[in-house]
Amino acid sequence: MPQTKIAGIGYYVPENIVTNNDLLKHMETSDEWIQERTGIKERRYAHRTEETTTTMGVEAAKIAIERAGITNDDVDFIIFATISPDYYFPGCGVLLQRAMNMKEIGALDIRNQCSGFIYALSVADQFIKTGMYKNILLVASEKHSFGLDFSTRGRNISVIFGDGAGAVVLQPTEEKNRGILSTHLHSDGANAEMLAMFNPGTHANHWMPEAVADFDEAEIGEMFMSHAMIDKAQNFPTMDGPAVFKKAIVKFPEVIMEALSKNDLTAKDIGTLIPHQANLRIAQFVQQKLQLRDDQVFNNIDKFGNTTAASIPIALCEAWEQGKINNGDLVCLAAFGSGFTWGSALLRW
Ligand code: UT7
C-alpha cells in the first residue's frame, strides 16, 4: 500500500495588516492585554468585497499545485476545510473548482473548525492509500473578519481571529517511512455549545428555547436568521474561553503522545511540532509539557492570529519556506477546537 506525501504546499494571507491598536477603534481592549493573553501582535483581514474564503484558497492552491509540479487538470479530488464559507451552501469546494477551471471531479467540504485541516488530511490519506486518487488538492481557508462582533461584547473572540488560507497537494509515494505515518481523530460533543456560532441554524426551539421564547408565529419564516437573533448578537461566534483553554491544554499533549506512541517514537524525535495557532499560551504549555526545545515548535500566531482550519497549513508552509523543515524530518501536526474536535498527524517530510 502506498503512503501519502505532501507534494506541494502554499499559503496566502491578505495584504491588510490589522494591529492590536487598530482594534481600539472598535472596542475596549489593549495591545498589552492581547499580547499577554494570546501572543498576537497583528492579524490579516481580507478585502471586504474583493476577497472571499474561496479566492484566498485559490491563491494558496495555485502555489501548492505549481510546487507539486502538476497542473489544475491533474487534480482528481478537492477537499476544502472552512467554517467561514462564501455561502451557507453550496460549499467552497465547488466554488474553487469553478474558479480554477478544474474538470468534473469530486469536491468535499469539511467543517471541523480548528481541527479541519487534520480531519481533511486524514480523509485524503485514506483515499490515497487505497489508490482511489493520485492528486488530492486540500485547501483550508477562513475569512473570519466578515463575521465577528467587533464591539466590546465580542472582544474575547474577535481579537483572536485572522484571515488566510493554506493548501497542500497530496500524492502517493512508494518510499517507505515517508509522508503521513498516521492520523488520529477525536471528538466529544458534550460541550458543543462552549465554542459555537448558532446562526444561521435550524436549532431554534430545540437547543436554545430562550432564544425564541419571545417570537410570535408571524416570525416563523425568519427563524433561520431573524432580526431578533441579530439584535441578541446570536449571529456571532461565542466562546467560554477559559473552559476551552483548560480542555485544550489536556487534549493537545494527549493526542500528540498518541501519535508518537503509535509509531514507537518519543517527543525527542519530533523535528517540528506545528500546533494549531489558537493561542500562544496554549502552544507554550504544550511545549513545556512535552519538554520540547524552542527549535522543535513553530508558531506564527503573533503575525496572523488564529486562522482556524488554515492555521496549520499556513504555519507548515512558512516553517518549510524558512528552511526549518527538511527531507527526512519528523513533523507533528496537532489541533483542538470547537466541537470539541481534536486530532494529530505525524509525517516524515
Ligand atoms: O481556535 C479555537 C479554540 N480556541 C481556543 O483555544 C481559545 C482558548 N481560550 C483562550 O485562548 C483564552 O480564554 C482567551 C484568550 C480567549 C481569553 O483569555 P482569558 O485569560 O481566558 O480571559 P477571560 O475570558 O477569562 O477574561 C478575563 C478578563 C475579563 O474581564 P473581567 O471579567 O475579569 O473584568 C474579560 O472581560 O479579560 C476581559 N477581556 C478582555 N479585556 C481586554 C476579554 N477579552 C478582552 C480583550 N481585551 N480582548
Tell me if residue 167 falls in helix, strand or coil: strand
pLDDT of 93 reads: 98
pLDDT of 318 reads: 98
pLDDT of 107 reads: 98
CA distances from 258 to 87, 184, 311, 332, 334 (A): 36, 8, 22, 11, 11
In this predicted model, what pLDDT tens digit does every residue of 11-45 receive, in sequence order? 999 999 999 999 999 999 999 999 999 999 999 99
pLDDT of 210 reads: 61
pLDDT of 226 reads: 72
What average pLDDT does the segment 311-332 reach?
A: 98
CA of 157 to the centre of ligand 1 (A): 8
Mean pLDDT is lowest, of 177-181, 219-223, 293-297, for 219-223
pLDDT of 219 reads: 57
Check: CB of residue 14 under 8 Å from CB of residue 44.
yes
- To test the pocket of ligand 1, the residue of 19, 32, 37, 285 to mutate (highest count of ligand atoms within 8 Å of its CB) is 37
- To test the pocket of ligand 1, the residue of 155, 156, 342 to mutate (highest count of ligand atoms within 8 Å of its CB) is 156
pLDDT exceeds 70 at position 190: yes
Q: Do the first three CATH levels of 3-173 and 179-190+239-348 match, i.e. the same topology?
A: yes
CATH superfamily of 3-173: Thiolase/Chalcone synthase (3.40.47.10)
Mean pLDDT is lowest, of 134-138, 195-199, 217-221, 332-336, for 217-221
Mean pLDDT of all residues in the chain?
94
Atom 43 of ligand 1, residue of closest alpha carbon: 156
Distance of CA 303 to the CA centre of its chain: 16
Check: CB of residue 109 under 8 Å from CB of residue 80.
yes
User: Could you give the CA distance from residue 10 to residue 69 in angstroms, rounded to a whole number?
Assistant: 13
The percent of residues in the chain predicted with pLDDT above 90, rounded, is: 88
List all residues whose CB is within 6 A of at least one atom of ligand 1: 29, 33-34, 37-38, 114, 155-156, 159, 195, 241-242, 244-245, 248, 278-279, 282, 306, 337
Classified by CATH at the fold level, domain 179-190+239-348 comes out as Peroxisomal Thiolase; Chain A, domain 1 (3.40.47)
Q: Which residues pair with 171 in a beta bridge?
A: 5
| Residue 189 Ramachandran class (φ > 0 left, ψ -120 to 50 alpha, else beta) | alpha
pLDDT exceeds 70 at position 223: no
pLDDT exceeds 70 at position 10: yes
H-assigned helices in 69-153: 92-99, 116-129
What average pLDDT does the segment 128-134 reach?
A: 98
Pairing of strands 136-142, 77-81: parallel
User: Could you give the CA distance from residue 259 to residue 160 in angstroms, rounded to a whole number?
Assistant: 28
Atom 36 of ligand 1, residue of closest alpha carbon: 156
The residue among 330, 337, 288, 345 whose CA lies nearest residue 308 is 337
CA of 5 to the centre of ligand 1 (A): 38
In a 10 Å sphere around its CB, with 0-12 CB exposed, 13-18 middle and 19+ buried, how is residue 339 labelled? buried
Measured at the alpha carbon of residue 343, what is the angle toward residues 166 and 208, in degrees to the nearest 5? 95
Q: Which residues pair with 77 in a beta bridge?
A: 106, 136
Measured at the alpha carbon of residue 289, what is the angle toward residues 288 and 291, in degrees to the nearest 5? 60
pLDDT of 200 reads: 84
pLDDT of 214 reads: 58
In this predicted model, what pLDDT tens digit does every residue of 68-87 receive, in sequence order? 999 999 999 999 999 999 99
Q: How many CA atoms lie within 13 A of 107 on its CB side?
A: 16
What average pLDDT does the segment 149-158 reach?
A: 95
Which atom of ligand 1 sits closest to the CA of residue 38?
15
Atom 8 of ligand 1, residue of closest alpha carbon: 245
Q: Which residues pair with 167 in a beta bridge?
A: 10, 139
pLDDT of 208 reads: 61
User: What are the catalytic residues?
Assistant: 114, 276, 306
Give residue 198's pLDDT band: very low, low, confident or very high (50, 70, 90): confident
- Each domain of the chain, given as residue ranges in start order, spans 3-173, 179-190+239-348, 198-235
Which residues, including other chains, have CB under 8 Å from residue 7's CB and lie 6 or more apart? 67, 68, 69, 70, 135, 168, 169, 170, 171
In this predicted model, what pLDDT tens digit does every residue of 232-265 receive, in sequence order? 788 899 999 999 999 999 999 999 999 999 999 9
Measured at the alpha carbon of residue 262, what is the angle toward residues 118 and 317, in degrees to the nearest 5? 35
Give residue 203's pLDDT band: very low, low, confident or very high (50, 70, 90): confident
pLDDT of 31 reads: 98
